[in-house]
Amino acid sequence: MTAPREAPDGHELGSAEWTDLSAADRDHLRRAIRLGREGWGSVHPNPMVGCVLVRNDTVVAEGIHRSFGGPHAEADALAQAGGEAKGATAYVSLEPCRHQGKTPSCALALHAAGIARVVYWAPDPGQEEGGGGRLLEKNGVRVQGPHGSEEEWRGENPFFFHRPQGNRPYVAVKLAVSLDGGIAPAGGRRQWLTGPEAQVEVHRLRAGFDAILVGAGTWRADDPKLTVREWDPPAVPPLRVFIDPRGDMGATAAAFQGDGGPVVLAVGEPAVDPTAARLGSRAEIVGLPVGPGGLDMACLLDVLGRRGVRTLLCEGGGRLVATLLASGLADRLYLFQAPLLLGPRRVPAFPASDTPREENGEGTAAPGGSFSRWRRVRPPETFGSDILITLDRSL
């Protein structure tokens, strides 16, 4: 299947609380935010950024940060606008950077091009990169920003605004769930719950993460490759991580066929040597402590973080997802709801007492003492006949 060229539109950010902006300002700023989403899977660990240049109420250029190490959105827009940038307003989804890194300072570039006004949405939290707004003001440019809230900024650029504790990567979990809360029919037999449109969206999500993780039950039932196939593949394929407590994964597994990138097999410490001897160079074997609940997930995340994994997408199954949620190790939940029923003997998505729920207007916490509050990142999105609900752990 050919990958669509634009990312889903997602949520409409911003509200009537932007009292210092006109209706036209808000529209242009929202457009900049939407443009930035086109960098998903290409710009990490940089943020997704979009820029719109407007002069005399006319859009003269639109820019996108398209790839890590490539021109920033402001530079992309300025190159297109040429002399028409003089006197224009720049609407940017992230505060223009002030420092010289892989690319020149965007704040200085905007000033040099004669931009008269800059409206930005989210502040740049970097110690070196931040402060571009103040730099522009010192050079006589009118600046308005930031707008929105920290939760909105984190919802849009979750990796960029993630502040890890130790080596722990940013962790998102993805599950496809039936209307009656199941992830598989009785007996756990394999069955696709979602349609092709939702499956394309999963591949788009994969393209934006450093690593993909699945539990033992999932790979035994599905034998997944965990590669990006129905979306433009990233420059570096995601690391594929499989939970395999006893070291049972065979050499004929789909993940070992073809060139899909490196594979990590997380096994119990007693299984390290026999698994390594059996699989040879097919996988990197990581030994983890084994407790009453299975392998130590916090230890695995620490190992992956020290290996350079900053972002991790867990694709199930239910037991692994429940462990990550209950342990406070998950930052985001992608919940695909399929329009079907699996029946009373279905495999449940979550333990009954630990189902994560959205925080309501009064701030009611989710049931189960192990869960923090969760908030919806955007309105539900439709992919074919399936619905995607995206939740973030509240700050």
Q: Considering only CA atoms, which of 91, 95, 85 is closest in space to residue 132?
A: 95
Pick the catalytic residue: 38, 62, 74, 201?
74
Domains of the chain: residue spans and CATH? 23-156 (3.40.140.10), 170-393 (3.40.430.10)
Summarize pLDDT for 34-85 with one digit per residue, the tens.
Answer: 999 999 999 988 899 999 999 999 999 999 999 998 999 999 999 999 999 9
pLDDT of residue 367: 32
Largest CA distance in the chain: 70
Summarize pLDDT for 294-347 with one digit per residue, the tens.
Answer: 899 999 999 999 999 999 999 988 889 988 988 889 999 999 999 998 888 887
Known catalytic membership, residue 74: yes
Q: Considering only CA atoms, which of 105, 110, 94, 106 is closest in space to residue 147?
A: 94
Name the pLDDT band for 384 (thresholds 50, 70, 90).
Answer: very high
Q: How far is CA 266 from CA 26, 89, 106, 280, 317, in A?
A: 47, 52, 43, 15, 15
Helix and strand numbers (H, E) in the chain are: 10, 19
Cα(318)–Cα(177) distance, integer angstroms? 10
Q: How many CB atoms lie within 10 A of CB 140?
A: 8
Q: How many CB atoms lie within 10 A of CB 180?
A: 13
Q: Is 365 exposed, middle or buried (0-12, 13-18, 19+ CB in 10 A)?
A: middle
Name the pLDDT band for 16 (thresholds 50, 70, 90).
Answer: very low
Name the pLDDT band for 3 (thresholds 50, 70, 90).
Answer: very low
